[in-house]
Amino acid sequence: MSIFVNSKTRLLVQGITGQEGQFHTRQCINYGTQVVAGVTPGKGGQMMDSIPIYNTVREARQISAANASMIMVPPPFAADAILEAADAGIELIICITEGIPIIDMLRVKNYLATTTSRLIGPNCPGIITPGECKIGIMPAKIHTPGGPMGVVSRSGTLTYEVVHQLTGVGLGQTTCVGIGGDPINGTGFIDCLKAFNADAETEAVVMVGEIGGQAEEEAAAWVKAHMKKPVIGFIAGLTAPPGRRMGHAGAIVSGGQGAAATKIMAMRDAGIHISENLGTLGMLARQVLDPDSK
């Protein structure tokens, strides 16, 4: 099984005619994702390879029965693209775009609360259920289908490192979700942990956090109260000085909050297996699942 996406997911791409949109759409198609439509205002009626392009998401959804959207739209227009997808009733929206103004995302967050649409991102690598569906910019070849590991991460590049290690020690993945590191995003750690907890084929979860915000502490509290499967955790930014931003707009320690040590303490208290060395996380996951392994 998997969470959020599978082989039946029908994807449309907003911003399909841009250079990045074309490239990553083709990568998704090559992986086997059902890409059924593209949307670029003013270019309706054209084609991108064999993919029909529409002027609006609503039209694309009505004709193609798309239930997911990948947004590859420049930052000034990305928030409106999310709103358009949600207004059209798209169930899953994956926004890859980074650099969206926080004020725009606050508007998006408030509107999404009135809909049934799920947003992953922005500023994220996307989501992949290995062997079934890839929506995003992650390198496909490092992923291995068949489980038993779920992966959720704020950092794109650390997601790739973790997945590479899991594959290297013989642990396939059910689904890998990059939730993004912006202060205002859609799907969070707890959303993914709930879904993995309910997924019959996911036996354990890797959760990769970083400094800044309180998301990891809140997730740790949820794990302690509800999680029935082992969680392996890693926090990036352990040596970051206060006030230093570490790549993501949300990854900043300020006012004594969001420090790596605080997050690690909360995760340990929740029974999460902490990897202090990213380079050995894969082996730790193997040992958690199979204590007799070496």
Domain boundary among the residues 75, 92, 120 is at 120
- Is residue 213 a known part of a binding site? no
pLDDT value of position 244: 55
pLDDT value of position 248: 53
- Is residue 84 a known part of a binding site? no
Compute the distance between CA of residue 192 and CA of residue 174 in angstroms, rounded to an integer.
12
Task: Please name the residue ranges forming H helices in 13-71.
Answer: 19-31, 57-64
Residues 158 and 275 occupy one common structural domain: yes
Residues 174 and 81 occupy one common structural domain: no
CATH code of the domain covering residue 253:
3.40.50.261
2-43 tens-digit pLDDT: 999 999 999 999 999 999 999 999 999 999 999 999 999 999
Question: Within a domain: residue 166?
Answer: yes
Instruction: Show the domain range for 182.
Output: 138-289
The catalytic residue positions are: 248
- Is residue 18 a known part of a binding site? yes
Residues 41 and 170 occupy one common structural domain: no
145-195 tens-digit pLDDT: 998 999 999 999 999 999 999 999 999 999 999 999 898 999 999 999 999
Compute the distance between CA of residue 188 and CA of residue 175 in angstroms, rounded to an integer.
15
Residues 105 and 235 occupy one common structural domain: no
- Is residue 43 a known part of a binding site? yes
CATH code of the domain covering residue 56:
3.40.50.720
- Is residue 17 a known part of a binding site? yes
Residues 263 and 151 occupy one common structural domain: yes
201-260 tens-digit pLDDT: 999 999 999 988 899 999 999 999 999 999 999 998 765 555 555 555 454 444 455 788
Q: Angle of helix 57-64 relative to helix 75-87, nearest 10 degrees?
A: 50
